[in-house]
Structure 1
Amino acid sequence: MPKFVVVDLETTGHTPKKGDKIIEVGMVTIENGEIVHQFHSMVNPEQPIPSFISQLTGIEDQDVQDAPLFDEIVDEIVHLCQDAYFVAHHVQFDLGFLNHAIQETTGKSLDIPVLDTVELGRIMIPQAPGYKLAQLAEYLDVAHDNPHRALADAYVTAKILLQFIHKAKQLPYETLQQLSSLERKLKSDLHELLSNWMESKAFTIEERADLEIFRGIALKRNYEEVQRNVPEVEGFQPYLDHLLGNDGSLSKNMDRYEERGSQRIMATTIYDAFQSGSHALIEAETGTGKSLAYLLPAVYEAVTKQNRVVISTHTTHLQSQLLDKEVPLLHKILPFSFTSALFKGKQHYISLKKFEFELYHGTSDNYDITLTKAMLLVWLTETATGDIDEIQLPSSGNIFWRRISAEAEGYIDPKSPWFSRSFYQRARKQAQQADLLITNHSLLCTDISENYSLLASYNKLIIDEAHHLEATAAKHFGRKIDYVSIQYLLNEMGANSAGDWIYGLLSSYPEMALKHDITKWDELVQNAKEESDELFRFLFSYVVKQHNAHISLNDIGRYQYRFQNDQENPQTWSTVQEMTRRVSFYLRDLIQFLHKCKNWISLAETSEEASRWIEDIRMYMERMEEVIHSLDHLLLSEEESIVKWIEIEAYGAKNAVFLHSEPIEIASIMQDQLFERKESVILTSATLTMKDSFTFMMKRLGLEESSTIQQKIQSPFHYEHQVQLMIPNDFPNIKYGNQEDFIHATCEAIYSLATITRGRMLVLFTSYDMLKKTYSAMKEFIDQEEFILIAQGVSSGSRSRLKKNFQAFDQAILFGTSSFWEGVDIPGQDLTSVVIVRLPFQPPDHPVYKAKSEALKSQGKNAFMELSLPNAVIRFKQGFGRLIRSSQDRGVVMVCDDRIMKAKYGKYFIDSIPSIPVHFESTHQLMEEAKRWL
């Protein structure tokens, strides 16, 4: 086994060419699979250490003042690296920095093979939650007691490397061979290692029983689930007693279990709704334990009646929680067995057929795509689901995924060998056999809109996070299209150049290519691209020219313009429609071209390759038909019950245009297509009422009062002792153009409260624009070493990444809008205060709100009371709910908007949250009160 030297450096900065220096070196040597030597030295950089480096590493100037200079230890470092692989976590940084120092000192540099443990981690453990050293150490159960110190980091990296090598040696020969074909585009020099591992396997006939090799790709074998049994259970209440009592099964399987009356009430309400064939709206406040409360009657009903129950959630996070936590717990505690399955849309599952094609025929891959292929090869030896949500792809990998997802493969003949190995088909089969089927609102609404052709049949449904159902359904009964998706489709089919799909098709059938002039295809594709580019550029300039009063800025920074065909400038709109017809004309010509190709191949041969080409052709024809239908619906047709709008990226490309439509109301659609067709639908959430009334939600969703059970379940938490509501009475009035003054006052209040709570603060905005302005203002007057500011859309990373960063720092303030109002769970001492900057009313010029508002006014109704206020109250409840997540949590909610106290409608907000102490005083008095209380 070769020698590895694992290196970690601590430095004064990131750029040696600008004078940054090494301050600490840690080196760990591995030989014959064991750590045999460790080297450590502080280094005098002959310059002050920046304070942020000292804060990160704990290394101060006095720690290095008597340390050797780099030239005093360089020979030993070079000697340790001889005949070894140079290994580091982000190898380019450590090797680059070290080589710069060696070159300066000796005039030479290290020229040795390298291994990057970030890259190896992505490949060897693709299902890890993250690839920072601390994340990998935690995932692989490697103790990491002294992070950001050179020897400790090097030692942990070495232990992790040994686990990667062990894992690599367990991989089948075929996977190693595939990795070897990708190796030259990776950062790590893996060629010799892979060759050695393959050579050792070539002389053994031992095969892993858990894998099958199909067409050169190693796959985890598919094991069928155990069949269910029908239990003999006396009745639902004895069943609950067996599980939920203080001496029940749950108490024996959960730490610090406390029986919750609210959980039993909710479970019984759902059971009663199932038995009476009623629908139900259940608001279950935080702490109810609602997931188990609805799973218990769902499983009981499904198994005892042999009648599947579907559970739909809005977020994949909740789906994962149900499958990884609650469902395994139920398997342990229930007196009978049951089956469960998760079912998602086609875009979530890998297509092995498409992946095989890309593996053997894909060309001109960049680094991210090569890395993605390597990750997927290893993942396929482990995954039973083929669900991409199990792993985190690099950025370009997500684009590559679109080419290889089940959505991209189109129709598969059931006789095809790929059909029996299709992860999507496997998921469908499991869904059809499951007692409990877990899905998401998006797929549920797709199923409803496609006349129940996707999900396995069911007549009882539980919808969690039900306050999202209206918006999700509206999206699914509407349409959307954008310039990029059209261009992506045309580029995916390609032109007459090697590596493009159409080139592969026509070069596979030269006789057909002679009949169908390839230059004709190229011309049609080019025309379609140019015409769509012109159309979307024209729409962009049209929106920009509209008066500001007609345009709103949404919370992700896009401008929105609602359009109505009969109210636009007739001459201009006539041009838009003519351009739309031209795009559709060229797309129809492309469809016709492919139709002829499909017919020719069908008559010419019946091979597996011919079937694959026909499936691809059919898929591309369907996708182009879909684009034509969307353009026709959005820009040519006229429907009064539909709201349509255009979004543009204000500072983006001049064709960055997104077209949307939604039904103005979905109540009648949901009533006809869901509630009247299903026996019992349970809708639950922590936020369904306004002032204890479900009326708003029932009207919006189309539920009949006579057939709907309504139940509000109080939280078991003692809010009056856990949280204080504080509203300043001395803020400038934003109404009179004082936005700058208001932001300044907000910043001062945030800073004052943060000094009391030591950061640990979530600040919620209704406008992305105000978030950015507040963030910029805060950055100017606070000391970054005192508080770390993390802001959605400003700081890089996903919502979960920003949340993790927030929790990682001792004194941090997190700024969020849109998605941060809910679903962000920061329990315990990590969060002590929530600041709500403005009451969360939708902008009155938002296209959908505007259309709904006009419809209500035409019916003689008050749009503010019927629509705007209830939406804002429910959103406010979500924001308020971020603070108290357990019975031990304690903190302050500050609302910077005094309308909650001064406006007539303010009481709707206060009366819709738990009864807590309310303080309406000057900012100074509030801070004194917060200091005293906390």
Structure 2
Amino acid sequence: MSAKLIQQVAAAFSSQGVLAQSIKGFNRRDVQAEMAEAVASSITSKSNLVVEAGTGVGKTFAYLIPALLSGKQVIVSTGSKNLQEQLFYKDLPALLAMLNLTPKVALLKGRNNYLCQHLMEKELAGASSMDTQVLDDLLRINQWAGQTTDGDIGGLTAVTENSAALPLVVSAKETCVGQRCEHYDDCFTRKARNRAMDARVIVVNHHLFLADRILKETGFAELLPDSDVVVFDEAHLLPDIAVTYFGQQCATRQLADLFDKLIEIYRFELRDAKQIELLSARCSAMLNEWQQHLFGIGETDWRRLLANKELSALSWGLFKEIKALQAVLIAHVGRSDNLDDEILKLDALANKLELFFLCENNQAAYSIDYGHRYLVLRIAPIDVAKECRKLFESNVAWVFTSATLQINRDLSLFTRQLGLNQCQNMLLESPFDYRNNALFCVPRHLASVSNHHAALNQFVDVCVKAVNAAKGRTFILFTSHRMLNLVAPALQRRVTYPLLVQGQANKQSLLKKYRQLGNAVLLGTGAFWEGVDVRGKLLSCVIIDKLPFISPDDNLFRARSEAIEREGKDAFSEISLPQAVITLNQGVGRLIRDEKDKGVLILCDNRIVNKPYGQAFLNSLPPMARTRDLDKATAFLEQIK
């Protein structure tokens, strides 16, 4: 099988192969064929493969073709919904037609991507007291619900993706009543899961995949079948996502909603259990007081807050009241299915709350995320390598690929983070002609990034020159919302090209408008550093304000730094620098997306040329021509027609 699959893959990528016959203007890329054969070898030997494939290698076809030709059960996991949908609706159908294969294929998203018919009915029943806009959107969603076959909200165009009606009617674990639901047989979430269990090729995302694996580890029901091959595309995102799933989190909104639900159960089902109402209301009031106290402080690091005696007393007072409520609820087990559901949920939340309050794990960061009214309490492990090692030890071919995995031509940081001791590593260069088609400029005489006022003025000056030379057609990427909010109004006064600013609309709407206008300037932070594909002269210039080092105030970073330093190592070179290199590479990757693309990258941070660690960034970037002369950069831009 091993030799046969590798031969089939080599034939598919040959100059007379199925790709050449099916794709007009197909040009064989040696690096793409090399990656495809390595994937075939990994599949047949059930070994681990880590591949950094530069932009233009064609990694999607390089892993899909051997996976499909193998005939094995395959899971492809992506880091973004956009890539997930591109694979399922575009790449897979095209390849299956070319290869004349007909395996069952399924797309599975997290449950909050599917309409819940039970919630839809419930919300419409209470529509009389609803905001007019929300009601209008609900009616539109209900009309769509009668037409959709899969209930995937991604196919809903009648309302905007940030509509206030959507959270009310999407599927959620907390509101699911399982087999008691009157729509159980027609449930969109259940049907999607059934399709996945029956498919040979399943497209998921990293969040869903890890959630499923951890459920299996704890002995709970699984969503995905055990597969022979798992491919992680956008694999650079995996280590940080894994931290979420191997840690714990508790949303106070869930507690607040649960207390309200218990009061509702008392009023409509258990009128003789007055204590349920009294204790639930008391817990709700104490939760609110505790939250308000935290909002007044604003600190995100729970360890720092432990010394606050008033907060400590409030925390354990709240927990004591929850335990008292649990004791009362136990006496009513079996009287109401709804109550029994809430008792199980409260047990789980109380356990998480106690773990957070105790703060006993020295190998974890304890942090608080502040929302509009509620909090999310997070326990994040400092190092997930041990847990990941167990996950990736099973008898499966694991393939990890991304355009940005290496630091200083080395993949070991990524493999260490995921505990991948035994794996083949490959670095495949982009086939694009970066030396002639791209110019990297770090302008001379830049103020230090720590001199905020001077750096801001200089950055705006650089942006104005570059935008005018590029005739718009520019992405300006920021490392902070603060800098974006300072630059946007200053730029608005000085350039005549349309400015699209993150926050004005959702990401996809801004990108659509950018493409339609043809001469726009887009200003964005993290969301626009990756997963954005704008080809041709529409995007001629990418400007980055500074090197994207993580904030030293980040709780997980601080906890990791302390752990690294206890081992006698340097936190900057072990954590800060590698993360910044990968993030910068993601931003740079927006510029050249096609072999005919030309463009200029401008970085307004001279640390990359005058600090010793700057070489690690330079060694990891594509081989672009370089200059310190901004005039040369603008001249290059003016020549792009």
> Which category describes the TM-score, using the shorter chain as reference length?
over 0.9
For 2:224 and 2:523, how far apart are their aligned partners in 1? 39
Asked whether 1:834 is paired with 2:542, we answer yes
**Could you say which structure has the larger radius of gyration?**
1
Paired residue for 2:460?
Answer: 747
Paired residue for 1:850?
Answer: 558
For 1:818 and 1:839, how far apart are their aligned partners in 2? 13
Which amino acid is the alignment partner of residue 287 of structure 2?
S
Which amino acid is the alignment partner of residue 499 of structure 2?
L
Contact 2:113 2:171 in 1 (8 A): yes
Deviation at 1:277, TM superposition (A): 2.2
Contact 1:750 1:835 in 2 (8 A): yes
Change beyond 3 A, Cα 1:381–1:685: same
Q: The residue matched to 1:634 in structure 2 has which SS?
A: helix
Change beyond 3 A, Cα 1:318–1:396: closer
Contact 2:119 2:168 in 1 (8 A): no
Superposed CA offset, 1:508-555 (max 9, x none): xxxx53x334xx444333222211111111122233xxxxxxxxxxxx
Deviation at 1:249, TM superposition (A): 2.7
- The alignment-based identity, stated in percent, is 26
Paired residue for 1:117?
Answer: none
For 1:404 and 1:715, how far apart are their aligned partners in 2? 41
For 1:564 and 1:804, how far apart are their aligned partners in 2? 44
Superposed CA offset, 1:451-487 (max 9, x none): 2533212242111100100111101122233444433
Asked whether 1:255 is paired with 2:24, we answer yes
Picking from 271, 276, 289, the partner of 2:40 is 271
Picking from 670, 675, 688, the partner of 2:388 is 670
Paired residue for 2:360?
Answer: 638
Change beyond 3 A, Cα 1:873–1:404: closer
Paired residue for 1:762?
Answer: 475
Asked whether 1:788 is paired with 2:498, we answer yes
Deviation at 1:358, TM superposition (A): 4.1
Alignment of 1:886-901 (within 5 A): 886-901=594-609
For 1:731 and 1:250, how far apart are their aligned partners in 2? 49
Picking from 454, 459, 462, the partner of 2:231 is 462
Contact 1:353 1:409 in 2 (8 A): no
Picking from 178, 187, 192, the partner of 1:412 is 178
Paired residue for 1:311?
Answer: 76
Deviation at 1:764, TM superposition (A): 1.0
Deviation at 1:335, TM superposition (A): 3.4
Alignment of 1:83-482 (within 5 A): 235-301=4-70, 303=71, 307-360=72-125, 364-392=129-157, 393-394=159-160, 398=164, 401-403=167-169, 405=171, 407-413=173-179, 418-451=183-216, 453-482=222-251
Asked whether 1:680 is paired with 2:397, we answer yes
For 2:123 and 2:86, how far apart are their aligned partners in 1? 33
Q: Which moved more, 1:805-814 or 1:754-763?
A: 805-814
For 1:778 and 1:397, how far apart are their aligned partners in 2? 30
Alignment of 1:523-922 (within 5 A): 523-543=278-298, 561-564=300-303, 568-569=306-307, 571-582=309-320, 584-585=322-323, 588=326, 591-592=329-330, 596=332, 599-601=334-336, 614=337, 616-648=338-370, 656-672=374-390, 674-704=391-421, 707-735=422-450, 738-779=451-492, 781-783=493-495, 786-793=496-503, 796-921=504-629
For 2:141 and 2:416, how far apart are their aligned partners in 1? 47
Q: The residue matched to 1:448 in structure 2 has which SS?
A: helix
Which amino acid is the alignment partner of residue 173 of structure 2?
E
Q: Which runs of 5+ in 1 are unaligned?
A: 1-231, 507-511, 544-559, 602-613
Change beyond 3 A, Cα 1:861–1:244: same
> How many aligned residue pairs are there?
636
For 1:725 and 1:384, how far apart are their aligned partners in 2? 49
For 1:665 and 1:412, how far apart are their aligned partners in 2? 36
Superposed CA offset, 1:394-438 (max 9, x none): 578555544552535535339x77433222222222112211111
Which amino acid is the alignment partner of residue 391 of structure 1?
L
Q: The residue matched to 2:212 in structure 1 has which SS?
A: helix
Superposed CA offset, 1:878-919 (max 9, x none): 111000111111110001001111111111111112212110
Q: The residue matched to 1:413 in structure 2 has which SS?
A: helix
Contact 1:348 1:406 in 2 (8 A): no
Contact 1:368 1:397 in 2 (8 A): no
Deviation at 1:375, TM superposition (A): 2.7
Contact 2:112 2:170 in 1 (8 A): no
Superposed CA offset, 1:67-100 (max 9, x none): xxxxxxxxxxxxxxxxxxxxxxxxxxxxxxxxxx
For 2:120 and 2:487, how far apart are their aligned partners in 1? 46
Change beyond 3 A, Cα 1:619–1:385: farther
Q: The residue matched to 1:645 in structure 2 has which SS?
A: strand
Change beyond 3 A, Cα 1:618–1:299: farther
Superposed CA offset, 1:211-257 (max 9, x none): xxxxxxxxxxxxxxxxxxxxx99922442355333333333433332
For 1:933 and 1:631, how far apart are their aligned partners in 2? 58
Q: The residue matched to 2:620 in structure 1 has which SS?
A: coil
Contact 2:475 2:542 in 1 (8 A): yes
For 1:410 and 1:619, how far apart are their aligned partners in 2? 9
Deviation at 1:933, TM superposition (A): 7.5
Q: The residue matched to 1:646 in structure 2 has which SS?
A: strand
For 1:435 and 1:571, how far apart are their aligned partners in 2? 56
TM superposition score normalised by structure 1: 0.64
Contact 1:587 1:628 in 2 (8 A): no
For 1:623 and 1:396, how far apart are their aligned partners in 2? 28
For 1:476 and 1:627, how far apart are their aligned partners in 2? 16
Contact 1:281 1:682 in 2 (8 A): yes
Q: The residue matched to 2:442 in structure 1 has which SS?
A: strand
Q: Which runs of 5+ in 2 are unaligned?
A: none
For 2:408 and 2:579, how far apart are their aligned partners in 1? 12
For 2:107 and 2:51, how far apart are their aligned partners in 1? 24
Deviation at 1:575, TM superposition (A): 1.9
For 2:130 and 2:555, how far apart are their aligned partners in 1? 41
Which amino acid is the alignment partner of residue 663 of structure 1?
P
Paired residue for 2:256?
Answer: 487
Change beyond 3 A, Cα 1:752–1:237: same
Which amino acid is the alignment partner of residue 722 of structure 1?
N
Contact 1:233 1:239 in 2 (8 A): no
For 2:640 and 2:163, how far apart are their aligned partners in 1? 50
For 1:242 and 1:527, how far apart are their aligned partners in 2? 70
Contact 1:732 1:742 in 2 (8 A): yes
Change beyond 3 A, Cα 1:629–1:758: same
Paired residue for 1:516?
Answer: 273
For 1:586 and 1:542, how far apart are their aligned partners in 2? 28
Which amino acid is the alignment partner of residue 320 of structure 1?
E
For 1:587 and 1:765, how far apart are their aligned partners in 2? 48
Contact 2:10 2:33 in 1 (8 A): no
RMSD (Å), alpha carbons: 2.7
Change beyond 3 A, Cα 1:247–1:459: closer
For 1:572 and 1:813, how far apart are their aligned partners in 2? 50
